[in-house]
Structure formats: C-alpha cells, structure tokens
Structure 1
Amino acid sequence: MTESGIHYLDARGPDGMRLYAIGDVHGRHDLLAAMHRRIESELESAPASDWRFIHLGDYVDRGPDSKSVIDFLIEAQKRDARNIVLAGNHDIGMLEFLADGEPDGLFMNYGGIQTAQSYCVDFTRDMDWFGKAEAVARGHMALLKAVPRNHVDFLQSLPFSVSFGDFFFCHAGIRPGVPLESQSPQDLIWIRDDFHDHPGLYPKVVVHGHTPVPEAEVMANRVNVDTLAWKSGTLSALAVNGGDKRIITVQGKAL
C-alpha cells in the first residue's frame, strides 16, 4: 500500500472469498457457459468458503446469441445471488434503443442488428424496400414485442460497479481524482483515455473491460479483461484468491 493507492502486486481479495471477474461477452453464450463451467470445476476441485462471479458488462451486440446470454445470466442470478452482473455501455444502449428507436445510435451502429436477430427480428430484411429509417422503425416495433419483459427488467436493474477487498470492478474504468463512491455512471461505462493514461495508482485496483486487447492486460493500477471474445473466440477473466491473482481464459471458435 502507498499513500496514493494500491498496486496490483499488493492487492488482495477478501479473506476466504474467491473472485472471478469475467470480461465482455457480446453475444457469445458459448464462451460464457464455458467460463462458468471452468470456474465451477475449480470450485468443485478446491472448494472455497465464499465466492463471487463478477460479470463486467456488454452482454449484447456483435456476437450471435445475445438473447441466450441474458437468459443465462438471469438464471445464474436466480440460482445464486453471488453471480453479480454489472452494466456495460452496450447493455444500456439496448435499453435506450428500446425506448427511443434511434436509427443512428450505439445499438444500430455497433452490433444491435445481431442482437435483434437473436430475438428473431431482422432489421436488414426491409432496408432495400423501405430505406433505413422506415426499416429501423419497423424493426424497433418488432423488437419491442420480441424482447421479454424480464430481459428489460434485468437490464434496468444492473449496477454500475462493485468492490471487494482491494479491487473495484466496473465496465470501462473510473475518472482519475474522483472518489470511487462518486464516479458517474457515464464514466463507469464509457471512459477510456483519461483512465488508461493515468500514471498513478488508484484507491483500489480497477478491473474492467470495454477496450479490447489481444490478451488480458495487467497494469499496476488496473486490469483489462476484454479480449474481444465475440470475434477472437477468447473470453478472459481475472481470478483472485487472497493475494493470488491470475488470468484464466476459455477458447471457442473465432468469428
């Protein structure tokens, strides 16, 4: 520990509690299920008195099966509330699209078409006939009918951050100089450069996703576990057991 914050090498999880922080899923239900199986196998072979699975956001868009990802996470939380699911910018973007049908927002421009397809709604089908604006309006109405109410309720319920031991978990990162308890939701799901470029330590090690990297990135003040799972076929997580910290991955088909 230093006056200015905590270094990754010194950071510890709570005594007796194992932490598993899982990076951006983006519609890859196959990889999310594989990661859960891997972690559950670890917990069976070496039981822990307590644990948390912390999902770092971006469950929808780009990949092929966002609907199944949300179904999976809803069921995981029903089985055990120690499955923690945080909000990502794409998850909030889906809610915003359902609310306003914006044809040029995050959802439509960055993978929402694939999300809609997982709910059996095809935005592209009508574009040649009606043009984008009309096709999106029609698709928006169809998606409102197709997305189950419990999916909307689930997405609306997601917290933006959680903290355990010397670690602070969120989707994108934090605003340097702002107390952890005062971080804005906008920064927690969107920030990049100001957070990444900060040279000093933070009050806690920040574990995040949001910005894809070829392999998990472990820095003195933060850990990035977004390994572009939807495209690379590699889903990564940070495992913390006391002072022991390691990256674990599962592999699937690259798209």
Structure 2
Amino acid sequence: MRYYAIGDVHGHLEQLKRAHELIRADIARCGQPAPVVHLGDLIDRGPESRGVIDYLMKGIAAGEPWHVLKGNHDRYLERFYRERITFDPNTRTGLVWFDHRLGGAQTLASYGVEASENRDPAQIQRDAHAAVPEAHIRFIEGLPLCLETEDLIFVHAGIRPGVPMAQQAEDDLLWIRDGFLDDDTDHGRLVVHGHTALEAPEHFGNRVDLDGGTGYGRPLIPALFEGRDAWLLGEGGRSPLLPPEHRLQRGA
C-alpha cells in the first residue's frame, strides 16, 4: 500500500496547499491514488490556523482520502477552549500557549481573538467561544493519535520503544523526544513522525522525521511511502529519502 504523508503545518495554509499540489502531480504521473496522512500540529506559529482547519475539514467532507492526526499544538487549542488550560507540563521551557514561541496567540488571532499573557485568560476564553467554530474544536477532539499499517506507524511525535501500540500513552504520542529520538532499535515497522523540527525531513533507519521546520519558515515537503521505502516530493518529482547506511553506500 502506498501512502503520502505531510509533516507539521503550523498554520501555513499556502504551504499545505502546495504540498497537496505536489502530491496530485505525483499521482498524475504514476496514475495511482493513495491516502494522505497529516502528522498533526496543524496550528500555531503561522498566520492561517483557521484556514488550515477549514481546508482539511472541507477536503475530508468532499471525500478526499485524507487522514489527519492530532499534534500537541492542536491539543493546546482543544484544552484552552474546553478547560482554559494554557500550560502543558510537557513544555519543558515553561512557556504558556499564548507565548509567540508556541504560537497560541497567532492561532487565536486567525479567528479574530486577541490573546496575550497580560490579558485575563477567562476573557480570552469567552472571546474564543464566540469566535472559534464549535465544529473546529470537535474536529480536533476527534483526531486519532496514530495510524498503523503493515509497514508503517504514523504518529505526531513518536512512540515509547518496547511498549505495544495499544498501551502507548497519549503524552508520548504527542510529545516524546527523549527515549525515542536517541533509540536506534527497529520498532518492527518504520515510524513516520513530525514534532521535532529539522532543517529538512530525514530518514534515521528506524524512523523518518518529516518536520522540516515549516513553523520556522522552511518549506513543507511531502513524502511518499511504498512499504518502508520513502521519497520526498518536489517540483522536479521524487527524490529518494534514504537511511544513513544507504546514503553512505551512494557516497552521500
């Protein structure tokens, strides 16, 4: 089975549309449609979080074979809207969601809500209830945490090595770095994730990180997977995304 995948969007609607254009061009060349998996962090930092959610909801409603996973930034919006939570203990920097480095203020601004650390969170939440469509919150609440295939595990942040998928903790699937990024054992399937921003997507042998830093102004680069083989998609078509040992063999 073939799958396309798109990493962290972070409120950059035009980048998301471009990624889908590259996928449509690849489908046109090979003549074989396939599902598209979005790895979460749809919102925050970029200017068009509302537009990103609208775009994905409309595509799914129109019958597009799109899967959308939940990211930790998506959960921020859900929790603030429902419970007025602005801090997640997994944020080791101690930042609250409204801090520009996390991007919650930018997300709420896309709905016309002013959010800052010196405004009363209760008032911000009331404004959010008036401005953010309930359908957007229900969409985020209903997003799955992972998608499993015979060869692949799609997830936002990663998995806890050695723990069966049915027993994985939500916080790990949304936030994990330590214990996953530094683990080089085979997980039985290739883990395809985002969350940890790189200069560009990279294959590490047992996992592929597709967060190429779109939240920091870099391009959103989609990927194609056939079994455990991977390619990145660009204007010139496909380019192989190879694990380290194969890169060495090719003299990369």
Q: Report the TM-score when normalising by structure 1.
A: 0.83
Identify unmatched segments of 5+ residues in structure 2: 89-95, 236-252
- 1:144: how far off? 1.2
* Residue of structure 2 in register with 1:181 after alignment: 166
Q: Secondary structure at the match of 1:203?
A: coil
Distance 2:82 2:228 in 1: 44
How do 1:70-149 residues align onto structure 2 when only pairs under 5 Å count?
A: 70-80=53-63, 82-104=65-87, 106-109=96-99, 110-124=102-116, 132-134=118-120, 136-149=121-134
The amino acid across from 2:40 in the alignment is G
Distance 2:25 2:135 in 1: 29
Distance 1:169 1:226 in 2: 13
Distance 2:126 2:70 in 1: 24
> Alpha carbon RMSD of aligned pairs, Å?
1.7
Q: Report the TM-score when normalising by structure 2.
A: 0.84
CA contact (8 A) 1:28 1:63 kept: yes
Identify unmatched segments of 5+ residues in structure 1: 1-13, 251-255
Q: How many residues align?
A: 226
- 1:141: how far off? 0.9
Distance 2:48 2:12 in 1: 6
Q: State whether structure 2 residue 235 is matched by structure 1 residue 245.
A: no
Distance 1:60 1:243 in 2: 28
Distance 1:102 1:181 in 2: 27
- 1:240: how far off? 1.4
Q: More displaced, 175-184 or 65-74?
A: 175-184
Higher relative contact order (Cα pairs below 8 Å, separated by 6+ residues): 1
Distance 2:181 2:229 in 1: 24
Distance 1:194 1:249, change over 3 A: farther
The amino acid across from 2:98 in the alignment is M
Distance 1:150 1:68 in 2: 13
- 1:42: how far off? 1.5
2:135 to 139, 150, 158: 150
* Residue of structure 2 in register with 1:19 after alignment: 3
**Higher helix residue share:** 1
Distance 1:103 1:46, change over 3 A: closer
Q: More displaced, 222-231 or 235-244?
A: 235-244
Q: More displaced, 239-248 or 187-196?
A: 239-248
Tell me the percent identity: 36
